[in-house]
Structure 1
């Protein structure tokens, strides 16, 4: 049977790695429709995209844009949106916090890497502390970011934390719960297999080579 999902995106991890991690960990197969810079510059594909941007997710005859909307859609499909409305709201809060930090990371990578990296890394503890606090409040930090089961926000947070460990290898040294969280989630069998795959390792983190 053909894969249920098709991801259309550039040949980088970027905005799609969290959803790839989710799908891999949930034992789902998907097809990659890789868009080269040359194809994107021609403009036809961009015009066909609802907001003029990628990623795009095709789920059967259902087409979606916006990476966080896609994550939430996959969460609903696979029971990754908490056990009740309270947990779902907390997961939305976490995901918004992840998005806030991701936007700062993207601005650094694409706009101010050479001049801004040192100050960004210096300010990073204040950005990471809320996530450490949330972990501490849930099962003493030995479980997931919210509740007793993995969620879409966990995949998004895990991806963001792994990006920052590449950017600043010691950034989690003063956050033992976050450090353990990254190790614990990355060791989940299906997710570990994906993270160790050539498809993941050979895919650049960002389009400009900065990381």
Structure 2
């Protein structure tokens, strides 16, 4: 979300919720599903990361040019989320015993995205269509997280590697990624990476 907001030149105010505040329970009780993030846009308050991403995408032209592109974006985003769930299970439930096996299985997972990228303009642009979409931000965010976990994970995937560099070097994204606020934000709530 932050990369999308930054890249689109949108202003936002972030209220960081401390763990102690969350444990008090008042905020948790007020959320729709008892979890964060939350997002307010005028009169609309949303929870669930992907609902927020799709809301931003619809309102800022980041959901493809056609219904077919939007459907493909949804498909790729579901794949991104499938990998994110596997990553989060390993990080929060099986880090010590599961990290090595997770990293060994990663080439299979990343291969799907390399092939999707290759099928769209030879991998020279975006994962779907000829303009950036919300799934590009979501995929790059997840791939950047994996580069912290396994710094060489993209070495066998030249298209994905170039894609992460290309998206991350967009001027407004690069500026955001270089902020102290971004650099100091932990990747995972339990400190494991």
Distance 1:186 1:48 in 2: 35
Picking from 49, 54, 59, the partner of 2:31 is 49
In structure 2, the partner of 1:166 is 148
How far, CA to CA, are the matches of 2:97 and 2:157 in structure 1?
A: 26
CA distance in 2 between partners of 1:43 and 1:196 (Å): 33
Match of 1:72 among 54, 58, 67: 54
Provide the C-alpha distance between the structure 2 equivalents of 1:208 and 1:54, rounded to a whole number of angstroms.
16
- Other-structure match for 1:14: none
Cα deviation, residue 197, structure 1: 0.8
Spell out, residue by residue over 1:111-147, the C-alpha distance to the aligned partner (whole angstroms, 9 max, x if none): 1111111000000000111100011001100000000
Displaced runs of 4 or more, over 4 A: none
SS of match in other structure, 2:14 = strand
Equivalent residue number for residue 82 of structure 1: 64
TM-score (norm 1): 0.91
Q: Which residue is 1:205 aligned to?
A: 187
Q: Secondary structure at the match of 1:174?
A: coil
Q: Secondary structure at the match of 1:33?
A: coil
Query: Which structure is richer in relative contact order (CA contacts within 8 A, separation 6 or more)?
Result: 1
User: CA offset at residue 61 of structure 1?
Assistant: 1.3
Q: What is the aligned residue count?
A: 193
| Structure 2 unaligned blocks of 5 or more | none
CA apart distance, 1:34: 1.0
Q: Separation in 2 of the partners of 1:101 and 1:187? A: 24
1:59 corresponds to which of 34, 41, 47: 41
1:34 equivalent in structure 2:
16
Deviation per CA, 1:138-185, whole angstroms, max 9, x where unpaired?
110000000000000000000000000110011001100000000111
1:150 matches 2:132: yes
Q: From the two aligned structures, give the one with the greater strand fraction.
A: 1
Cα distance in 1, alignment partners of residues 167 and 137 from structure 2: 9
Matched, 1:195 2:168: no
User: In structure 2, how many angstroms separate the alpha carbons of the residues matched to 1:101 and 1:136?
Assistant: 19
What is the TM-score when the length of structure 2 is the normalising length?
A: 0.99
